[in-house]
Amino acid sequence: MTDLLDRIGAIGVVPVIAIESVDDAIPLADALLEGGLPLAEITFRTKAAADVMHILRDKRPDLLVGAGTILDIASLDAAQAAGAAFGLAPGFDAKIVTGATTRNFPFAPGIMTPSELGAAIKLGARLCKFFPAGIAGGPAALAGVSAPFAHLGPRFIPTGGVTESTIAEWLTIKTVLAVGGTWIATTKDMADGRWTDIAAKARAAVARVRAARGG
């Protein structure tokens, strides 16, 4: 888990991707890699998700792939079987957190409140998704929610309402490992074959992270 956190933290931004077609898997991966962003969260919002993860595992091993929107044990098993390196969820479900631990599968539950964060930590979660980050109150809200738990060492990936222009604000919080966002590779971008645009947005996001961290 430590190595995984280090890899995600070194990149600093997680593209959150709802991909509709398996035919787009390789062009997507190549665009992200061209943009210097070797990381993607493939969400279970589409029927193609598991097949896409499987393709990326086999064909583009340089891309670190996480499975998003894990809402049940079936999705947890599907993510692991497809070769995802880790999983994430928008909310907190104790059964899924425990199931991930039992399967030795790195997993980040979603939290928005101190109660949810406390419950996640109690079950051993070291990484949590702060969601929906924008509606929940932005960086100030995460700082307030997480402060009483700072001595326990949780790390966060705020997602939902994060944009390229707000990356630096989030990264000022020391417990933020990386930010997650949908703007880098949208469903429409992929449907329209805008791979050059995706690469450019990936490159810009990486540059923002670098600048926020002092180069």
Cα gap 28→36, rounded to integer Å: 13
119-144 pLDDT tens trace:
999 999 999 999 999 999 999 999 99
Q: Does residue 41 carry a catalytic annotation? A: yes
Whether the bond into 132 is cis, omega within 30 of 0: yes
Q: Does residue 164 carry a catalytic annotation? A: no
Cα gap 118→116, rounded to integer Å: 5
Do residues 1 and 106 lie in contact, with contact meaning Cβ atoms separated by under 8 Å? Answer: yes
41-99 pLDDT tens trace:
999 999 999 999 999 999 999 999 999 999 999 999 999 999 999 999 999 999 999 99
Q: Write down the domain spans for the chain.
A: 2-212
Architecture of domain 2-212: Alpha-Beta Barrel (3.20)
* pTM of full prediction above 0.85: yes
Active-site residue among 20, 34, 41, 122?
41
H-only helix segments in 12-113: 25-34, 49-59, 73-81, 94-102
Give the pLDDT band (50/70/90) at residue 2.
confident
Do residues 144 and 162 lie in contact, with contact meaning Cβ atoms separated by under 8 Å? Answer: no
Active-site residue among 20, 59, 129, 169?
129
